[in-house]
Amino acid sequence: MSIRERMSGNEAVAYAIKQINPDVMPAFPITPSTEIPQMVSTFIANGEIDTEFIPVESEHSSMSATMGANAAGARALTATSSCGLAYMWELLYVAASDRLPVVLALVNRALTGPININCDHSDSMGARDAGWIQIYAENNQEAYDNFIQTFRIAEHPDVRLPLMACQDGFITSHAVENIELIEDDKVKAFAGEYHPENYLLNPDMPMAVGPYANSPFYMETKMNQRLAMENAKKVILEIADEFEKISGRKYGFFEEYRLEDADYAVVIIGSAAGTTKDAIDELREQGIKAGLLKIRVFRPFPGEEMAKVLSHVKAIAILDRAESFSACGGPIGSELKAALFDFKFSGIAVNYFYGIGGRDYTVAEAKAVYSDLIAYADGSKPVENYKYIGLRK
Amino acid sequence: MAFNFKEVMNKPERLAPGHRMCAGCGATIAVRTVLRALKPEDKAVIGNATGCLEVSSFMYPYTAWEDSYIHNTFENAGATLSGVETAYNALKKRGRLKENYKFITFGGDGGTYDIGFQSLSGAMERNHDLVYVCYDNGAYMNTGIQRSSATPMYADTTTTPVGSQSNGKMQNRKDLAAIIASHDVPYVAQSTLIGTMKDLYEKSEKAIYTPGAAFLNVMAPCPRGWRYDAADIMKICKLAVESCYWPLFEVVEGKWILNYEPKKKLPIEDFLKSQGRFKHLFKPENEQLLVQYQEEVDRRWEDLLFKCSR
């Protein structure tokens, strides 16, 4: 029987770590992810798990040590947020190119400039091209469920890529919600142990990691990373199927909410999906065919799959919780529009920015987005392609 | 065990020939000497900061390293090996590994004194059972001889060039061995390439087989950066030691020990004049700079004698 509990998102991830009992966890505190290493340290201090914890002197070193441990043959992870991820930047690319299946519990927070401890996605979206798998959670349940699947995806022989499991800072990391936990033995059996083919501490075959590889080999390295990312699509779905068997909960690249017959759709990532769903329910009562596509897997980017399920929609609002300062769209906006173009989408697609630096996003504001879409679709309002939600006047 | 030169030199090489380090490179000699101090039956994981050694010894698809080896980036050799060493403890504890491993990481002075300083300090303070070996050639040689905090005063480098308004680097070098000793780690030593390499070999052995964190600072001349005839490397190292520019010492469990005191301390000019990077100091108008230089060497030497006398 699964266990009914009440937990914050950070507690949920720490609980998943406890159930997996990984080999090594180096970490450095940063709001709002700090609780995760604190809780793991407490589990270790109380003898509940025997993970080796390294209290490193920076996030740069937490990622470096995680990579070293993983290359050595250990299942290794770390946790961070915002500037912590930014400080790891250089290493993110190295982890991906060295094909180290490390896992990062990312609690999304705005990047400094000015300093801001609240949620947006500028940290992980900035790292979107680093070669990491990125999976996002809407709520505490998803943060827990996603985390349990992480190592299996990352370590799969056809993938061998680092993975960041993201959840929204404070909104899910600190808010306590009901959660359904899976029994320890089931999680343990599901997660298994890490037994790589090649690793530094293999007494039968030494290994060298991190070569100098100039123009004769660099391009192939990158091409192989792309192939691994393509393979990850298949593996993510396989692991999700396996996970459904132990949990009864179904996961894919994205969730469709009342999208099947929708004329107007919002595309979003993370906790704001819940607010949007409430808006949709209200609009549906008024007979407005509103729907939602909530992205779970952003890397690899399921462009074709999303374009397919959005093909019948008259107008789409793509909501970004991060700027990319291209002056022509945010990260999800640009990529999804490119995919929609490739798959001959003939409707309207506009890009909104919301929740930047923790700005509220309300049901009323979500409903206003659908009003815009209706007006764009019937031609009563000229299409504005770059809008802010909740911006101070 | 007493040092037996023949026996030591007959140990199997753990850095294979065929790498692309310059002829006469001090770093390579240092690395081979350190690795000889491993017991042949012990396995090792070698770490490496980005630098000459890394880009010349592991050019895909070839590696010169007989042991497992990891290069991550320029500034994180300490943290990377911390992770490897911790993984070893985890796998041992969980019964997934039986063999004994030792952990040694190499970095140049750029990757150690400067960009990798925080990572090194963290690894030392946490007292991981590893050895960090700095091959100190006193500048960023891999990128073309730019000054580092290990660069000696008045050295002509490409970012402290000598000119009408400049006599080279204006600052003294950082005393990294003393800084690491202040981390209160079990073993710190300074060495260089002297005679039969007995000094470096024995210090490496102690560093590798002392439980906990150890740091070796090895002066490893760079013929290109220092501008001397590559064949003169052993002479240069000897002058550095005999002039007390590069003293040989150990700090064992906090106790400072002087390993060698020259019978007749040579003037610093003898060390400086053999190198092109100090050529400008021998112009008649720069006589005062040499006096200053000698004063600084004397001050540091006296300070070391004091530390070792306690």
- Identify the band that residue B1 occupies on the pLDDT scale cut at 50, 70 and 90: low
CA distance B134 to B176: 10
Domain count, chain A: 2
Q: Name which of A50, A67, A208 is nearest B65 (Cβ-Cβ).
A: A208
* Shortest alpha-carbon distance between residue A100 and chain B (Å): 12
C-alpha B265, offset from chain centre: 23
A169 plus A40 within the same structural domain: yes
The mean pLDDT of A121-127, rounded to a whole number, is 98
pLDDT one-digit tens code per residue, B87-146: 999 999 999 999 999 999 999 999 999 999 999 999 999 999 999 999 999 999 999 999
pLDDT one-digit tens code per residue, B140-181: 999 999 999 999 999 999 999 999 999 999 999 999 999 999
A344 plus A218 within the same structural domain: no
- Identify the band that residue B2 occupies on the pLDDT scale cut at 50, 70 and 90: confident
Please check whether residue A386 touches B, CB under 8 A: no
Closest residue of chain B to A61, computed from CA coordinates? B79
Domain limits at A269? 254-388
Q: Which chain A residues are within 8 Å of B81, Cβ to Cβ?
A: 68
A211 plus A293 within the same structural domain: no
CA distance B206 to B46: 17
Question: Shortest CA distance to A117 belongs to which of A81, A75, A167?
Answer: A81
Mark yes or no for CB contact A50/B94 under 8 Å. yes
> Percent of chain B, pLDDT > 90?
99
Q: Which chain B residues are within 8 Å of A69, Cβ to Cβ?
A: 83-84, 86-87, 90
Mark yes or no for CB contact B101/A91 under 8 Å. no
CA distance A382 to A139: 35
Residue A215 in any domain: the answer is: yes
Closest residue of chain B to A221, computed from CA coordinates? B60
Preferred mutation among B75, B86, B99 to probe A, highest tally of A CBs within 10 A: B86
ipTM surpasses 0.90: yes
Compute φ and ψ for B126, nearest 5 degrees.
-80, -10
Q: Name which of B68, B90, B119 is nearest A207 (Cβ-Cβ).
A: B68
Which residue, A221, A247, A273, sits at the end of a domain? Answer: A247
Report the CATH number that the domain containing residue A228 is assigned in CATH.
3.40.50.970
- One-letter identity of residue A256: E
A265 plus A171 within the same structural domain: no
CA distance A182 to A19: 9
Preferred mutation among A21, A24, A222 to probe B, highest tally of B CBs within 10 A: A24
pLDDT one-digit tens code per residue, A48-90: 999 999 999 999 999 999 999 999 999 999 999 999 999 999 9
B274, B227 in Cβ contact below 8 A? no
A63, A127 in Cβ contact below 8 A? no
pLDDT one-digit tens code per residue, B151-161: 999 999 999 99
**What does the DSSP 8-state code read for residue A76?**
B
User: Which H or E run includes A331?
Assistant: helix A331-342
pLDDT of residue A359: 98
CA distance B257 to B247: 11
B177, B215 in Cβ contact below 8 A? yes
A293, A276 in Cβ contact below 8 A? no
The three-state secondary structure class of A366 is helix
Tokens of A1: 């029987």
Q: Could you tell me which residues are beta bridge partners of residue B279? A: none
A265, A271 in Cβ contact below 8 A? no
DSSP string, chain B: ----HHHHHTSPPSB-TT--PPTT-HHHHHHHHHHHTS-TT-EEEEEE-SSHHHHHH-BTT---BSSEEEE--TT-HHHHHHHHHHHHHHHHHTTS--S-EEEEEEEEHIIIIITTHHHHHHHHHTT-S-EEEEEE-SSBTTTTSB--TTSPTT---SSS-EETTEES--SPPP-HHHHHHTTT-SEEEEEE--TTSHHHHHHHHHHHHSSS-EEEEEE---HHHHTS-GGGHHHHHHHHHHTTSS--EEEETTEEEE----SSPPPHHHHHTT-GGGGGGGSGGGHHHHHHHHHHHHHHHHHHHHHHH-
Question: Shortest CA distance to A364 belongs to which of A265, A279, A257, A294?
Answer: A279
Residue A393 in any domain: the answer is: no
Mark yes or no for CB contact B90/A51 under 8 Å. yes
A90 plus A220 within the same structural domain: yes
Which residue, A228, A247, A266, sits at the end of a domain? Answer: A247
Please give the domain boundaries of chain B with CATH numbers for all domains.
5-309 (3.40.50.970)
Residue A90 in any domain: the answer is: yes
- Identify the band that residue B57 occupies on the pLDDT scale cut at 50, 70 and 90: very high
User: Which H or E run includes A372?
Assistant: helix A363-378
Tokens of B239: 């002058």
Mark yes or no for CB contact B118/A54 under 8 Å. no
B304, B262 in Cβ contact below 8 A? no
Q: Could you tell me which residues are beta bridge partners of residue A79? A: A105
Closest residue of chain A to B97, computed from CA coordinates? A201
pLDDT one-digit tens code per residue, A20-32: 999 999 999 999 9
Report the CATH number that the domain containing residue A260 is assigned in CATH.
3.40.50.920
CA distance A198 to A207: 7
Burial class from Cβ neighbours inside 10 Å (0-12, 13-18, 19+) for residue A348 reads middle
pLDDT of residue B179: 98
Mark yes or no for CB contact A206/B89 under 8 Å. no
A53 plus A197 within the same structural domain: yes
End-to-end CA distance of chain A: 52
Compute φ and ψ for A146, nearest 5 degrees.
-60, -45
Q: Which chain B residues are within 8 Å of A28, Cβ to Cβ?
A: none
B95, B37 in Cβ contact below 8 A? no
A151 plus A120 within the same structural domain: yes
Q: Can you state the percent helix, strand and coil of chain A, rounding each to 5?
A: 40, 20, 40
A213 plus A114 within the same structural domain: yes
- Identify the band that residue B310 occupies on the pLDDT scale cut at 50, 70 and 90: confident
Q: Which chain B residues are within 8 Å of A62, Cβ to Cβ?
A: 79
CA distance A196 to A155: 8
User: Which H or E run includes A34?
Assistant: none
Question: Shortest CA distance to A232 belongs to which of A158, A304, A287, A295?
Answer: A158
A23 plus A110 within the same structural domain: yes
A315 plus A188 within the same structural domain: no
- One-letter identity of residue A4: R
**Confidence (pTM):** 0.98
* Average pLDDT along chain A: 98
A278 plus A342 within the same structural domain: yes
Preceding amide of B284 cis, omega within 30: no
A218 plus A283 within the same structural domain: no
The mean pLDDT of A199-228, rounded to a whole number, is 97
* Shortest alpha-carbon distance between residue A55 and chain B (Å): 8
Q: Is the pLDDT of residue A1 over 80?
A: no
Q: Which chain B residues are within 8 Å of A71, Cβ to Cβ?
A: 70, 83-84
Which residue, A247, A267, A284, sits at the end of a domain? Answer: A247
